[in-house]
Amino acid sequence: MEKNVKYLRSFFQSAKMCNLQPFEIRINPYLLEIDMKYHQLPSQLFKKNRSKFMSKMKSGALAVFNSNDIYPISADSTIPFQQHRDIFYLSGVDQEESMLVLFPDSSNPKHREVLFLKETSEHIAIWEGAKLTKEQAYELNGIETVYWLDQFETVFKQMMSEAEGVYLNTNEHLRASTEVETREDRFIRKCRNDYPAHQVHKSAPIMHLIRSIKEPEEIQLMKQACDITHLGVNRLLNFIKPGVWEYEIEAELAHEFLRNRSKGFAYTPIIASGKNACVLHYIENNQQCHDGDVILMDFGAEYANYSSDLTRCFPVNGKFTERQKAVYNSVLHVKKEAEKLLVPGTIMADYHREVGKLMESELLKLGLIDQTDIKNQNPDWPAYKKYFMHGTSHFIGLDTHDVGLWHEPIKAGMVFTCEPGIYIPDEKLGIRIEDDLVVQESGAALNLMAEIPIEVDEIEAAMNA
C-alpha cells in the first residue's frame, strides 16, 4: 500500500510539472487494495467523465453502455479480455459482463447512475479470480447504485417506462470494422425491438467530443505509458546489432513492458528492417536485420488501458550512412515544423496540407521529386504522396487511433501523434519518426516522449556507448 500512496503523490507532482489544472482525490486504503495490474485510478476522474457526458444529453433520455465480450478463438480458447473503452472511460470498470446506465432526469435519485455487474462468488473467485463487489465498485468510481446483472431487465424496464429516449452506443470511428457482432450490437438490436416507441439518440458524437479533450489524470496515465515505452527503447539501444531478428527485438520490448505493469503493446508492433520499413503496416516481424540497414520500429506500451505510440528508426550497425542521415533529418525537420502547427484553433485538414508543403520541399532537396513532378501532379494526390502517403497525426488516448471530431478546430487538452515519414523502396529505406503531443492553451505542444533519443547524434551515441 505504501508504494501505491507514493505513486499517487508522484501523480500530483507530475501533473503540476505539466502545468495542468489541479484536481481533487481522496486516498482510501480500501480502494488501493482493489486487485488490478495497474495502480488504481482516482474515482474523481470517472465522476468528471460521467458529468461531462450527462451535461450533453437531451432532457428525459437515458444512455446505456456495455462491456466487451470475451471473444472465442476455437475449442475453449479465448482472446484475453479487453474492456470497451467507453464504459471504462465512464466507470473505470475493467471486467466483462458489465453495463452502465445514465439517467440524469430520473425521478428516483438512485437511478441517475446505475452500474450492473456480474455477480461474484467463491466459485468464480477460485476459477477466474475475484470480480468486483458492490462496495469495491463504489470505491472505484463513486456510483452508489450497483445491481447484479441478472436484475437488469427488471430495473431497466422501470427506467425506460419513465424515459422518453435512449442513447445507444454505436461504433462510429472512421476506421471501424464492424464485421464481428459485439455485446453492444446485441443490446442495441434487443433495445430497439423491446422499446420501439422510444426516441433513439447517438452516444458516439458526445463520446468523440469529450474523450478527445483529456483530463489531467488521463494525461498523466498517458505519460506513464510513454515512460514505459521509453524503458523499452533503452533496452534496445545496445541490443540491436547485425544478425538480430525482428522478433527478438519485439520480445525485448514485451519483456520490458510487462515487467512495468503494462499489459503489453498498445497495438500490434511494427519491427521493420531494411525494405520492410516501406510496408506501412508490416507486422510479420520475422526477418533478420542486416549490416547497413535501418530498422523502423513503431510500437508503444499501454498503461491502465491508455495508449502510447512511438516510432524510431535506428541504424542496425549503430551508424547512419550519409544518405540515411539526410533522409532521416528531412523527416525530423518536417516533424519539428509540424509540431508548431498543433495549437488551438488549427483545422486538421489545413494542418495536413501545410505538412504536405513541408514534405514537398524536403523531397526536392533529396532529389526524390523535381519541379516537373510538381507541375504535373494530381491535386488530389500530390507528388509528395509517392514517398509520404499517410497522414501526419491522429488522436490518441484510450484507443491508439482515438476518437475525436476531425472537422472541429483543435483544442487545448487534445493529444495527437506527429509522425511524418519518407519511404524509398528502391533504396530499401523507410524513415518515420513519431511522438505523442498534448496541445497546450498557449505555446508549444507538450511532448510526452521528449526524453526518448531522436537526433541522429543521440541515437548513434547511445547505440555505441
3-class secondary-structure state, position 417 = strand
What cell does 335 get? 516533424
Q: Which of 372, 375, 215 is nearest to 306 (CA)?
A: 215
Please say whether the dihedral angle defined by the alpha carbons of residues 340, 342, 343 and 348, taken in this order, is positive or negative. Answer: positive
**Active site residue ranges:** 76, 281, 298, 309, 390, 394, 401, 419, 423, 432, 434
Cα separation, 73 vs 354, in Å, equals 45
C-beta separation of 172 from 204 below 8 A:
yes
Cα separation, 326 vs 324, in Å, equals 5
Please say whether the dihedral angle defined by the alpha carbons of residues 16, 20, 24 and 25, taken in this order, is positive or negative. Answer: negative
What cell does 329 get? 533529418
Beta pairing class for 72-74 and 77-78:
antiparallel
In whole angstroms, how far apart are CA 193 and each of 58, 158, 186, 334, 357?
22, 17, 11, 53, 52
Category of 291 on φ-ψ map: left (φ > 0), alpha (ψ -120 to 50) or beta: beta
Q: Please report the DSSP string for 38-107 in residue order.
A: SPPPPHHHHHHHHHHHHHTSPTTEEEEEEPPP--EEETTEEPPP---HHHHHHH---SSS-EEEE-TT-S
**CA angle (389 as vertex; 226, 408 as ends), nearest 5:** 65
Residue 263 burial class via C-beta count within 10 angstroms: exposed 0-12, middle 13-18, buried 19 and up: middle
DSSP 8-state code for residue 176: -
Q: Which of 201, 93, 108, 199 is nearest to 149 (CA)?
A: 93
What kind and span of H or E run contains 330? helix 322-339
C-beta separation of 328 from 456 below 8 A:
yes
Q: Please report the DSSP string for 224-252 in residue order.
A: HHHHHHHHHHHHHHTT--TT-BHHHHHHH
C-beta separation of 454 from 420 below 8 A:
no
Q: Which of 301, 311, 299, 312 is nearest to 226 (CA)?
A: 301
